[in-house]
Amino acid sequence: MPQRIFKSIRVRLTLSYLLVFGLVQTAACILIIYQREKDATAEFDISIEEQARSMAKVVEIAADGNLTRFDIQKVRQYVQSFGYANFYYEVRTSDGELLERSANLVGIGLLEFLPDLEGLQEQSKVLQTVSGETIDHILSDGSQMRLLSYYHVPEGGRPFIIQVALNLQKLHAFNRQLRDSLFRISLLALAAAGLTSWLLSRRSLRPIESIKDQVSDFHVGELDYRIDVDETGTELTDLSHSVNDMLARLDRSFNAQSDFLNHAAHELKTPLAVLLGETQRLRRAPRKVEDYENNLLEMEQELLRLAKVVDSLLMLAKARAGTRDLDEAPISANDFVTEALERCQPIARHREIRLATTLAYDADSDLEPIVLGDERLLIAMIENLVRNSIRLSPVGTIVRALVSIADSKVIIAVQDEGPGIPENQLQNLFAAFVSEPVAGRSSGGTGIGLAIVSSVVKLHHGKIKVANREEGGAEFIITFPLLNNSESTA
């Protein structure tokens, strides 16, 4: 169940929003805390410096130039006016001799925290945070003290040292309160951001919901239905167009499949009907031996035609099955073209057509037209093209198969001297069962030979194009990637 929840796009969007918001908020809080604590510490230090300078003036007035007999009462009255419960001070001569200290430092002094006198004279003041056993005895609460040692030189009098200290407990308490307040505010802001993110993600995913609702209404028989792009929003326009393109392809594929099945059933139904009729005629009444021989001959021809249709359908299915059943190996185009022409020689002689071939071989570079592919499918591809050209070529003409190499490509061309191909048939020439008889003649084929050719070419990452030759006839040109001799022998 938890895994299913985290697979939800809405949940992941919400968590992503919260993560980004949380990181930004944390960074902002750290920056605010750092800056505010820095400012509070600076204000605290300024307050200590002001008190030290004020006390220096009081001591200067009370001493009246003579530190040995200055009026201590004036100093104590001034300190009482500060109003600090945790205010500590000591007054010493420039040699470090104690002159006066606050009442809350009885028996305990700040002498151990007094900086080096020479350094203090040069800097005039040293500010430090002090802690330790002595401070624990003074404060008794484990806190720290902020201590300022101030070297004061009065006009016309002897210099003296004032140490002023304040308990940092209030400063630390302020900082803790600031952190707690920001933490509570951050939790509330995070909760508000989570709710807002949840609602915004729902709104953001509404176009996807629209696509889902529209797609859920699709049925196999209604593939002409299209998604309304305006309802999906501009961000999902490409996705909507892609889905519509996919539906259009599916629609064409289902229509082509339906036509293919209808034509295949028709091609299979005709010989089966003939066989059934001949069989029924043989059973009606006894006949002469010649009649039986004629009937058996017709039945044999129909069975051969039926076997040819089935073989062609199996070949087409294998060619369209993809690489799962592909038995790939390096093979020379010279070899499979030659083998295909040898298989077509009987039908060529029967129709008085001459087959000619021009093979490719570069003796200088020892380069052969090697391609990577399934030998059986490649032979069947060339055989279908050559047989198709033979069927449509006039008696006494030539069907040529040319093999060449150019630009790292293996090029195979099959040319005939027939009537050519009508312009209205060129676009769908390689679709199964859609080609019409050329120049008023029946092709005598199964109607799927060129579909097999196209599927084999695509399966081997090649390209095929067809055009009518200026001197008459059609030309099929197939291009395959050339496999280097080093790759073929590896």
Domain boundary among 158, 175, 192: 175
Residue 204 lies inside a defined structural domain of this protein: no
Residue 124 lies inside a defined structural domain of this protein: yes
Residue 189 lies inside a defined structural domain of this protein: no
Range(s) of the domain holding residue 10: 2-175
What pLDDT score was predicted for residue 444?
46
Residue 211 lies inside a defined structural domain of this protein: no
Give yes or no for residue 372 having a pLDDT over 50: yes
What pLDDT score was predicted for residue 438?
42
What pLDDT score was predicted for residue 441?
33
Same domain, 261 and 403: no
Residue 399 lies inside a defined structural domain of this protein: yes
The total domain count for the chain is 3
- The mean pLDDT of the chain is 78
pLDDT per position as a tens digit, 179-227: 899 889 988 988 888 888 888 877 777 777 777 776 676 665 666 667 7
Share of the chain above pLDDT 70, in %: 75
Same domain, 265 and 329: no
Least confident of 33-47, 56-70, 92-106, 130-144: 56-70
Q: How far apart are CA 126 and CA 145, in angstroms?
A: 14
Output 476 or 5, whichever has higher pLDDT: 476
Same domain, 276 and 305: yes
Same domain, 358 and 478: yes
Same domain, 312 and 334: no
What pLDDT score was predicted for residue 148?
92
Same domain, 299 and 408: no
Mean pLDDT calculated for residue range 47-68: 78
Q: What is the pTM of this model?
A: 0.46
Residue 41 lies inside a defined structural domain of this protein: yes
Same domain, 250 and 136: no
What pLDDT score was predicted for residue 353?
92
Same domain, 438 and 394: yes
Could you tell me the CATH number of the domain that includes residue 77? 3.30.450.20
Domain boundary among 293, 319, 345: 319
Mean pLDDT calculated for residue range 98-115: 83
Same domain, 409 and 455: yes
Residue 146 lies inside a defined structural domain of this protein: yes
Q: Confidence band (pLDDT; 50, 70, 90) for 263?
A: low
Could you tell me the CATH number of the domain that includes residue 398? 3.30.565.10
Could you tell me the CATH number of the domain that includes residue 250? 1.10.287.130
Domain boundary among 137, 156, 175: 175
Same domain, 450 and 339: yes
Same domain, 151 and 33: yes
Same domain, 256 and 300: yes
Residue 206 lies inside a defined structural domain of this protein: no
Mean pLDDT calculated for residue range 449-462: 84
